[in-house]
Amino acid sequence: MVLEFIREYDASILRYLNCDFFNHAKGKVCHLEIGFGNGEYIANLAKTHPNEIFFGIEYNPKYFRKALKRTYDINWGNIFLLCGEAKSILYHLMPDEIFNYIHINFPDPWPKKRHHRRRLIDDFFAQELFRILKPEGTVFLATDFYEYFLNIVSILQRNGFLKIYQSQKPYKSRIFKTKYEKTFENLSIPIFYSILKKNY
């Protein structure tokens, strides 16, 4: 199922959209991938776990359409892809405590200091992640940019998350890789992984 939010629209209209698709999530384990790129990671998860629900948000329409083609043959009705700005979608559309797991893979680091304000993960975003996660819900993080990695972990920790894993080795439950992950591994570029749990 596809819900495409064109970026030119004002994000505030999202609050008026019919959210019946969230009824699919009731009573089930739910995942959210933020920035799913070509959809390889979320598609593999959805195929492997047909009884769980997978939502994905991607800002880039080009990557979004690639992911649509990749997920077209998933017939279990357990994957929902959205195109739009993640902060607006979380704030205007996502109900409280709906997700068990949130996956954030290789967010754009915007490495130049003057561009840091464009980074996805800030205090507001972390608070939204906390809100939409179920009690003891989990955030899975992977990135090749160490400075941003430390920054993300620090932001999440000061907004109610407990770090339970940090390593350059993938956590045991990570059985699939993203396109970037495979590329970086082939180039011997270090990748940093963390797991953070919602902590009351």
**What pLDDT does residue 130 have?**
98
Angle at 197 between CA 158 and CA 60, to 5 degrees: 85
Distance CA 128, CA 77 (A): 26
Superfamily for 109-200? Vaccinia Virus protein VP39 (3.40.50.150)
Using the predicted structure, report yes or no on whether residue 142 has a pLDDT greater than 90.
yes
Residues sharing a CB contact under 8 Å with residue 167, sequence separation 6 or more, in sequence order: 192, 193, 194
Using the predicted structure, report yes or no on whether residue 137 has a pLDDT greater than 60.
yes
Using the predicted structure, report yes or no on whether residue 50 has a pLDDT greater than 60.
yes
% of the chain surpassing 90 pLDDT: 64
Distance CA 37, CA 39 (A): 5
Q: If pLDDT is split at 50, 70 and 90, which confidence band does 101 have?
A: very high
Least confident of 51-55, 57-61, 76-80, 184-188: 76-80
Instruction: Find the radius of gyration of the CA atoms of the chain.
Output: 16
Q: How much is the average pLDDT of 182-194?
A: 96
**What pLDDT does residue 75 have?**
66
Using the predicted structure, report yes or no on whether residue 30 has a pLDDT greater than 60.
yes
- Whether domain 1-7+31-94 has CATH 3.40.50.150: yes
**What pLDDT does residue 20 have?**
54
Q: If pLDDT is split at 50, 70 and 90, which confidence band does 21 have?
A: low
Using the predicted structure, report yes or no on whether residue 9 has a pLDDT greater than 70.
no
**What pLDDT does residue 74 have?**
73
Using the predicted structure, report yes or no on whether residue 109 has a pLDDT greater than 60.
yes
- Angstrom CA distances, 131 to 46, 52, 138, stand at 24, 20, 12
DSSP classification of residue 106: S
Same fold, 1-7+31-94 and 109-200: yes
Domain ranges of the chain: 1-7+31-94, 109-200
Each as own residue / partner, the long-range contacts of residues 15-19 (CB below 8 Å, 24 or more positions apart, any chain) are 15/92, 15/93, 17/93, 19/93, 19/95
Residue identified by tokens 């439950």 is: 173
Using the predicted structure, report yes or no on whether residue 17 has a pLDDT greater than 70.
no
Instruction: Mark residue 31 as left, alpha or beta (left: phi above 0; alpha: psi -120 to 50; beta: remaining).
Output: beta
Query: What tokens were used for 111?
Result: 């490495």
Strand partners, 161: 198
HSE-CB at 112 with a 13 A cutoff on CA atoms is 2
Q: If pLDDT is split at 50, 70 and 90, which confidence band does 25 have?
A: confident
Query: What tokens were used for 56?
Result: 């994905």
